[in-house]
Chains A and B, each alone.
Chain A
Amino acid sequence: MTRPVLEARDLRVAYGGNVALDIPHLAIAPGELVGVVGANGAGKSTLVNALLGWSRGAPRVSGSVRLDGEEIGGLPPHSRVRQGLTLVPEGGAVFMRLTVADNIAAASAPASSGRRGHDEEEVYALFPRLRERLHHAASALSGGERQMLAIARALRLGPRVLLLDEPSIGLAPRLVADVLRTVRGLVDENLSVLLVEQNVRAAIEVVDRLILLERGHILAQGPAAAMRDDPRILAAYLGEAVA
């Protein structure tokens, strides 16, 4: 196996005395799209946030995180972002008071990194809808448009690994498929993505590998094709009777 682009070991997160996440090992290969599914409160957001060392709360996080073989586990979130690990957190991560244009302009890969993020034209080519709303404040966007803007901002940062926490939340079914297809396209151009997605049925169509979380632990994981028929997935999320 090629060296993973992102690798975590003994990743533990605790809120007060409650251990919300305990993952011995997790790796993402270059150009791989890994889906993370699980019930509400399973620890999906906790996982992607912990990889970045970021949180809206104040959890205790321990463990090792390596990006391209380099340990980043001790770095503050903004440094990890500059190194190429980017997160689109749960629920419309845009600056409401900035215009769409400013939101996009404000995000760019640091010149010193040598990475090239999407330029503004590429972003608008990907999300033409945003071009039409250029001079609106982000607070005036619809939920779906905000998600597009959040993803666009992340791509501008030129990530090596992109962590997406439920990018399709609140989107119309057709848009869900659109967004997931867009993500797949980026992965095919060699981006690596960890995608948290409630919509298992839609996710399983695009991901390479699926991880099932339950109460902070990895309950099952495997290639998408195999997981499609996994009884635990079927039972829990597809609402189909286990044969």
Chain B
Amino acid sequence: MNLVQQLINGMVLGHAYALIAIGWTVLLGVARLVNFGHGQIYMLAAFVTWWAVAGLGLPYPAAILVAMLAGVLIGLIMQAAMLRLTFAQDLVSIMIVTLGFGHMMRGIAGLVFGGHPQVLETPLSWIDFEIAGAWVTAQDLAIILVAILFFALLHFVLERGALGRTARMVAEDPKLAQLAGIDVRRVYFAVFAFEGAAVALAASLVAPRTPILTSIGFEEVIVTFVVVVLGGIGSVAGSYVAGLGLGIFTALFGGFVSPAYATTAAFGVLIVVLVLRPSGLALGAGRGAR
């Protein structure tokens, strides 16, 4: 295992992690909400992408859009069910309801897509590049590129302009935001739709790297958790840095120490960081959706 290969793997993994986590980051940063069905939306979206390509014969980019649409739909349904809890900011109930949704999604996926592992073949997986003796696929490059574009766009939208300000107002005080004429309900729906679309986008890009099973999604939730917390709860830029850092750490640890204990080590790092710096790594920690 050479270092360049591990670094490239880490870069790919890191951008994948950041992309998988971004929906949660915004969810937490704007709406102070959590979604423990996040991993199962990932799983469902992976299946939907596979089904759109293998079953419907759609081209890969169109399949990504179909998966994102499914993600939006799931997000809207979940938020519709939780609206009252959301307004009450009843986090414990929301946690349980979203966990329940996750399990239901897993059951539905089992019914609809069956128990067999599926492999999503994309045209990009077949294209390889060699960089300094290391290999990278076009699929991997697509993950990096899309993640960077997505984060840049989101950062731009939330940092400037009225939309970002509205997000920060709702994040700080939803009741007061109502008095500013903001339809907070709509913001909550939009945020959950975004969460669904973002994790679906991540799934349709990242899932081709591994077989798709109804049991996937758990690891993605754990990764999301680590990225969101390390990035400084709700910070967009922080999540990017944290995702990248976690990816490179996991790749290096896996390549040079032990792949079996990479996740364990990542949690070790998380605990150390949390104990030493309770607000996470990002400078903008705790400042809402930034």
**Contact of B173 with A95 in the complex, beta carbons under 8 Å:** yes
Q: Give the docked Cα–Cα distance between A87 and B180 (Å).
A: 9
**Contact of B181 with A81 in the complex, beta carbons under 8 Å:** yes
Whether a CB of chain B sits under 8 angstroms from the CB of A76 is yes
Whether a CB of chain A sits under 8 angstroms from the CB of B184 is yes
Whether a CB of chain A sits under 8 angstroms from the CB of B182 is yes
Q: Give the docked Cα–Cα distance between A86 and B168 (Å).
A: 21
For this complex, 27 residue pairs linking A to B, each with C-beta atoms less than 8 Å apart, are A54-B175, A56-B175, A58-B88, A76-B178, A76-B183, A76-B185, A77-B178, A77-B179, A78-B179, A78-B180, A78-B184, A79-B183, A81-B178, A81-B180, A93-B176, A93-B179, A95-B168, A95-B169, A95-B172, A96-B172, A97-B168, A97-B172, A98-B168, A98-B169, A98-B172, A106-B162, A106-B169
Give min CB distance, B86 to chain A, whole Å: 14
Taking CB atoms, residues of chain A closer than 8 Å to B287 are 97
Whether a CB of chain A sits under 8 angstroms from the CB of B243 is no
Proximity bits, B158-169, A CB within 8 Å = 1, else 0: 000010011011
Please tell me which one of the listed residues A54, A106, A157 contacts residue B178 in the complex, with CB atoms under 8 A apart: A54
Q: Known A97-B172, A97-B287; judge A153-B180 contact (CB<8 A).
A: yes
Interface centre among A58, A78, A153 (most CB of B within 10 A): A78
Whether a CB of chain B sits under 8 angstroms from the CB of A89 is yes
Main secondary structure on chain B at its contact with chain A?
helix
B residues contacting A by CB (< 8 A) are 88, 162, 165-166, 168-169, 172-173, 175-176, 178-185, 287-288
Interface centre among A52, A56, A95 (most CB of B within 10 A): A95
Proximity bits, A89-132, B CB within 8 Å = 1, else 0: 10001011110001001110010000000000000000000000
Whether a CB of chain B sits under 8 angstroms from the CB of A82 is yes
Q: Give the docked Cα–Cα distance between A82 and B181 (Å).
A: 6
Q: Give the docked Cα–Cα distance between A229 and B176 (Å).
A: 38
Taking CB atoms, residues of chain A closer than 8 Å to B185 are 76
Q: Give the docked Cα–Cα distance between A65 and B181 (Å).
A: 18
Q: Give the docked Cα–Cα distance between A106 and B176 (Å).
A: 12
Please tell me which one of the listed residues B88, B165, B175 contacts residue A102 in the complex, with CB atoms under 8 A apart: B165
**Contact of A86 with B179 in the complex, beta carbons under 8 Å:** yes
Give min CB distance, B109 to chain A, whole Å: 36
Give min CB distance, A114 to chain B, whole Å: 15
Taking CB atoms, residues of chain A closer than 8 Å to B180 are 78, 81, 106-107, 153, 157
Q: Give the docked Cα–Cα distance between A211 and B253 (Å).
A: 72
Taking CB atoms, residues of chain A closer than 8 Å to B182 are 78
Give min CB distance, B167 to chain A, whole Å: 11
Q: Give the docked Cα–Cα distance between A58 and B88 (Å).
A: 9
**Contact of A78 with B178 in the complex, beta carbons under 8 Å:** yes
Q: Give the docked Cα–Cα distance between A87 and B185 (Å).
A: 19
Taking CB atoms, residues of chain B closer than 8 Å to A81 are 178-181
Taking CB atoms, residues of chain B closer than 8 Å to A157 are 180-181
Give min CB distance, A47 to chain B, whole Å: 16
Q: Known A78-B184, A97-B288; judge A54-B179 contact (CB<8 A).
A: yes
Q: Give the docked Cα–Cα distance between A105 and B176 (Å).
A: 15
Which 5 residue pairs are nearest across A and B when measured between Cβ atoms? Answer: A81-B181, A77-B178, A78-B178, A82-B181, A78-B183
Give min CB distance, B157 to chain A, whole Å: 16
Give min CB distance, B155 to chain A, whole Å: 17
**Contact of A110 with B181 in the complex, beta carbons under 8 Å:** yes
Q: Give the docked Cα–Cα distance between A95 and B173 (Å).
A: 7
Closest to A138 in B: B172
Taking CB atoms, residues of chain B closer than 8 Å to A76 are 178, 183, 185
Taking CB atoms, residues of chain A closer than 8 Å to B288 are 97
Q: Give the docked Cα–Cα distance between A54 and B169 (Å).
A: 17
Closest to B169 in A: A95
Taking CB atoms, residues of chain B closer than 8 Å to A96 are 172
Taking CB atoms, residues of chain A closer than 8 Å to B175 are 54, 56
Q: Give the docked Cα–Cα distance between A110 and B181 (Å).
A: 8
Proximity bits, A54-70, B CB within 8 Å = 1, else 0: 10101000000000000
Taking CB atoms, residues of chain B closer than 8 Å to A89 are 176, 179
Closest to B183 in A: A78
Please tell me which one of the listed residues A56, A78, A95, A102 contacts residue B181 in the complex, with CB atoms under 8 A apart: A78
Interface centre among A54, A56, A86, A106 (most CB of B within 10 A): A106
Q: Give the docked Cα–Cα distance between A153 and B169 (Å).
A: 13
Please tell me which one of the listed residues A87, A97, A102 contacts residue B179 in the complex, with CB atoms under 8 A apart: A87
**Contact of B184 with A95 in the complex, beta carbons under 8 Å:** no
Interface centre among B165, B176, B287, B288 (most CB of A within 10 A): B176
Give min CB distance, A120 to chain B, whole Å: 15
Interface centre among B168, B169, B181 (most CB of A within 10 A): B181
